[in-house]
Amino acid sequence: MRLKNGKMLVLEVKGEEDDQDRAKYQAARRWVTAVNNWGRLGVWDFAVCRDPQMLGKMMAAF
């Protein structure tokens, strides 16, 4: 999703986490780093929300 500040956010909303999820998050963070280093697609970030009730506060932090 594109944020008001222009940054692109890849957001994962997830409850319980397992090893496969952690590997996926690590791959997503590497991808975000690579895209940001390339510099042609804007600024990207990745976040995981484990509590949907906190999503509003989390989004406000971005």
The 10s digit of each residue's pLDDT in 1-12 is 899 899 999 999
User: Do the beta carbons of residue 8 and residue 42 sit within 8 Å?
Assistant: yes
What residues does each domain of the chain span? 8-61
pTM of the predicted structure, to 2 decimals: 0.85
Question: Could you tell me the pLDDT band of residue 62, with boundaries at 50, 70 and 90?
Answer: confident
* Rounded Cα gap, residues 62 and 59, in angstroms: 5
CA distance 48 to 56: 13
CB 46 within 8 A of CB 34: no
The tens digit of pLDDT for each residue in 34-61 reads 999 999 999 999 999 999 899 999 888 8
Q: What is the pLDDT of residues 10-32, one digit of tens each?
A: 999 988 899 999 999 999 999 99
